[in-house]
Chains A and B, each alone.
Chain A
Amino acid sequence: MTSNVEQQVKVFQDRFSHVVDEVSKVIVGNGDVISNVLTCLLVRGHVLLEGIPGVGKTKLVQTLSDVTDLGFSRIQFTPDLMPGDIIGSNVVRETDDGKKSFVFQHGPVFTNILLADEINRATPKTQSALLEAMQENSVSAGGSTHKLDQPFFVLATQNPIEMEGTYPLPEAQMDRFLFKLRLDFPEAADLLTIVERTTQQDELTVSQVLSKSEILEMRETARAVPVAQPVMRYAIAIALATHPESSEGHDLAKQYVRFGSSPRGVQSLILGAKVNALLNDRFYVSADDVKAVVLPALRHRVLINFEAEAEKVDSDQILEEIVRFVSLPKT
């Protein structure tokens, strides 16, 4: 049994590293972001990518779809985009015998990897069209519910500096994303590599290294990692520390946080920690694994108040302080 588990973990690690290596051929730097995107894919989560224009948000998603044997759709969110443009709509179709009936025309959401590009440019009504799809993996339209093919993985991008004509994601929508990842501007060495790779005659091509079935298998492996209760309590303690109204809330949270993490935040911590444990060749989740995913899992769930914005305190700073403050609780 043990050797089976070891084998399973080994396979998981190998596949994971192959995908990361392949994507890294196109996306230079941001190795952590690539790993975290893949982590979300493997624990049935969705990713919100944030970064300034040109850092490779869209390219990352495209490359990920290229290296995996998964269907890919891209929706460019605009203010006039309607929910029906995403989930599809009933259309009248005439049969050969002249009868007319409503037929559900599948929208771009019916895919495996959905790139919601510049999601904050659409109205909240359109943004919310993804809510059910992301949480329930299904779409309700025309009086019927349509199941989405698995794996279903949404990658949304947004630009943090261009705020005019945008609609910030509502909290409920934001909470649906397992991780929020930030793509930093590449360093000089990385920039050099990017220029070299993208300005040559031949375009870079990536090979497909992960099939749909393999992804589903990896998902099972990730979910099987056991978590001891002390570690779960540690994740809970971190989430509670972000709540200003909680007695266990951290002082910084009480000062700067408007709303703390939701229960989905704890789920994200544990799921992300499981993949992290497997990648570190552990059959169990440690507190370090939880710590490793605190920022991507909670930064979009901790809503800062006006005072924090005025003093230029962001959620990452608060979370880093909380991680330093919270220790493994005693039972």
Chain B
Amino acid sequence: MVYNHVLIMPSLNHTQIGQLVSNVARKLRLSRLISELGFAVAIIFFAFATLLVLSIPFEFVKSGWTVLGFGVFIVGLLAYVWVKAWTSIDAQDAARYLDEKAGLKDEMLSALWFMDLERKHPSVGEEAFVTAHLERAVARIQPIKADALVPLRVPQSSKVAAMAILFFAFTWVGTSNVVIAHKSDLTVRSISNSKFSNAEPARALDAQEASDIEEINDAFAAFERDDISFEAKKEALRTAREVLDQINMDAVMTREGLSKLSKILMEQEGFEDVGRALEQGKLQEALTLLKEKQEELAALSDVDEQLGIEEQQAGSTARSDNISSTELGDAARDLLNEVGRPDPRNITRLIENLEQAQQEMESQERANTAASRMESAGERIGLAQTGAADYGGRSATSDQAEAGNGTPSPDAGNNDMAGGSLFRQGSVTANEEDQGDDGSSTGAPEGHAAALALEGRMTQRLDAVLRLEKTQVKGDDSVEGDDSGWEFKASKEGKARTEIVQGLDSVTYGDSDVINGEFVSVEQRQAVQQYFLEIHEGN
């Protein structure tokens, strides 16, 4: 047993224990506070980063009140963390920590408790053991320094906080260039960016189409002239046909684009009537409606601008003006039933593109008119073609119904085409080798199934029983050895039945193919054989 006697210094004051414990407690609190604040900062920055991302679609970090609310929440959270961290460690916790780190076996905890008791009941201090305990505790803490016991280190949570700040910074940079777009804006933009309405200058396209029609007209004029050769006329016709092909192709694409546009606009609140007009092919009506929308939006923009000027003039204290501006914003939302409103510039582009599409439709009509005149002229001079071959295998028009020689196919919807049969024909005829799937020769459209025997080829056993028997025809002129007196016919009913019974009795499953194993896989042969021998044999 080791006796560890400590030299007691009577001059030492018990309050040294209290001071040391207080110092340790303060450092522990500080340490805890830094650590907890690190986590709080990490949480806040992660939350901010999330809000930044969420604000793109939801757009809720916009008003000053929201920012103020977030600010209050953050300050409240930090204050809560501060208070909790500071009050979570008391003197007893510090004493425990001291005991644990210095290996004092609860000496500080006990001493602290007795010091507290001594303050309340001074008689406790007169007890010899308590005094000795406290004095020894004081002597024990002399070499102990609070700084060495609780060194202030960078807590692990600071790394998490740094990561959160970095994450926030990246998110900030990543989302700073993102412009919040409304649904209606996105719709109109997508429409404007679609291929059919490529925002090339409409005038340039007009010039191109005008030159195309000019070319067709030139070809037509060439037919009228007598001073040019047949070959030259033929060449003019070929050129005109190529131009016509291009015009028709563009027209097809334009129609497809208009169809898509009508669907998108039908889903867009406030633009349903425009979409409906496009769907019905009323391009002019759609344009008129769009222009009306554009005028409404332009009027609202003017009001906003005017209000903005007035607000600047009235200064920031003009609360009533703010309210009216908000109300107007609400009115705009009510008008379009959307948050915000579409950009009038997008509608302008849409109108331009629709006008271009209208021009293309008109160009196609003119071109087709010119082409029909040209074809008539070509017929007169023997150049006209009636088939599709001269058009490079392409249909001259976009109408599929006019395409020649469509392949008859139920999938393609050409059921009504004459010629060709959709039904299978029987493939097996008399005396042809039986393939085992006979019975499908009826040609049922839904297919056929092979009528195979359930248990291998056990039916052969019955064939043997039901074979035709050779019976002798009783007659006076019968000659032995001559087959003329014999005829083949079905056995009498009773005899046939007897033969079946006899056949069933005499023929066993052991003779069947399944037992022979001819049609049974090697792995299952033994099991199948056992099954038939043990189960069916007894029946």
Contact = CB atoms under 8 A, between A and B. Distances in A.
A286 B3 contact: no
B360 interface: no
A1 B109 contact: no
B92 A230 contact: yes
A229 to B, nearest CB: 6
30 contacts: A1-B128, A1-B132, A2-B8, A3-B8, A5-B128, A5-B129, A5-B132, A6-B5, A224-B129, A226-B110, A226-B127, A226-B133, A228-B114, A230-B92, A230-B106, A230-B109, A230-B110, A279-B1, A281-B2, A281-B3, A281-B4, A283-B129, A283-B132, A284-B106, A284-B107, A285-B110, A288-B105, A288-B106, A328-B96, A328-B109
B106 A287 contact: yes
B70 interface: no
A4 B96 CA distance: 29
Nearest to A279: B1
B131 interface: yes
A283 B3 contact: no
Contacts of B230: none
A331 interface: yes
Contact of A13 (B1, B114, B135): B1
Q: Which of B2, B106, B113, B133 has the most CB of A within 10 A?
A: B106
A17 interface: yes
Contacts of A17: 1
B106 A328 contact: yes
Interface of B: 1-5, 8, 10, 92-93, 96, 105-107, 109-111, 113-114, 127-133, 135-136
Contact of B110 (A6, A224, A284, A331): A284
A225 interface: yes
Given A5-B132, A228-B110, A282 B105 contact: yes
A86 interface: no
B133 A284 contact: yes
Q: Which of A17, A225, A228, A285 has the most CB of B within 10 A?
A: A228
A231 B99 CA distance: 14
B92 A331 contact: yes
Given A5-B128, A230-B92, 18 more contacts: A1-B131, A2-B10, A6-B5, A10-B3, A13-B3, A224-B127, A230-B110, A279-B1, A281-B4, A282-B105, A282-B107, A284-B107, A284-B114, A284-B129, A284-B133, A286-B105, A286-B106, A330-B92
Interface in A234-287: 279, 281-287
Q: Which of A1, A287, A288 has the most CB of B within 10 A?
A: A1
Interface in A1-26: 1-6, 10, 13, 17
A43 to B, nearest CB: 15
A43 B111 CA distance: 24
Contacts of B114: 226, 228, 284
Contacts of B110: 226, 228, 230-231, 284-286
In the A-B complex, list the 10 residue pairs whose CB atoms are closest, starting with the nearest. Answer: A5-B132, A228-B110, A286-B106, A228-B113, A283-B133, A284-B110, A286-B105, A2-B132, A284-B133, A283-B132
Given A228-B109, A288-B105, A2 B135 contact: yes
A262 to B, nearest CB: 26
Nearest to A288: B105
A231 B109 CA distance: 9
Nearest to B5: A6
A209 B17 CA distance: 41
Q: Which of B10, B96, B129 has the most CB of A within 10 A?
A: B129
A13 B5 CA distance: 13
Contacts of B109: 228, 230-231, 328
A5 B130 CA distance: 10
Looking at chain A, what size class is its interface with the partner chain?
20 to 34
Contacts of B4: 281
A328 B10 CA distance: 31
A262 B5 CA distance: 37
A328 B92 CA distance: 11
Q: Which of A1, A226, A286, A288 has the most CB of B within 10 A?
A: A226
Nearest to A229: B113
Nearest to B93: A330
Contacts of A285: 110
A83 to B, nearest CB: 41
B132 A6 contact: yes
B525 to A, nearest CB: 54
B1 A2 contact: no
A194 B127 CA distance: 46
Nearest to B107: A284
Contacts of A226: 110, 114, 127, 129-130, 133
Contacts of A284: 106-107, 110-111, 114, 129, 133
Nearest to B106: A286
Contacts of B135: 2
Interface in A46-105: none
Contacts of B107: 282, 284, 286
Nearest to B99: A286
Interface in A284-298: 284-288
A231 B106 contact: yes
A281 B136 CA distance: 11
B73 to A, nearest CB: 31
Contacts of A3: 8
A277 to B, nearest CB: 9
Q: Which of B110, B127, B128 has the most CB of A within 10 A?
A: B110
A331 B117 CA distance: 14
A211 B131 CA distance: 29
A331 B90 CA distance: 10
Contacts of A230: 92, 106, 109-110, 113
Contacts of A331: 92
Contacts of B133: 226, 283-284
Contacts of A283: 129, 132-133, 136
A3 B114 CA distance: 19
A224 B3 contact: no
A282 B137 CA distance: 10
Contacts of B1: 13, 17, 279
B200 to A, nearest CB: 79
A282 B128 CA distance: 13
Contacts of A328: 96, 106, 109
Nearest to A224: B129
A225 B129 contact: yes
Contacts of A228: 106, 109-110, 113-114
Interface in A200-226: 224-226
Q: Which of B1, B96, B111, B114 has the most CB of A within 10 A?
A: B1
A323 to B, nearest CB: 15
A5 B2 CA distance: 17
Contacts of A279: 1
A281 B96 CA distance: 20
A284 B132 CA distance: 9
A4 B113 contact: no
Contacts of A282: 105, 107
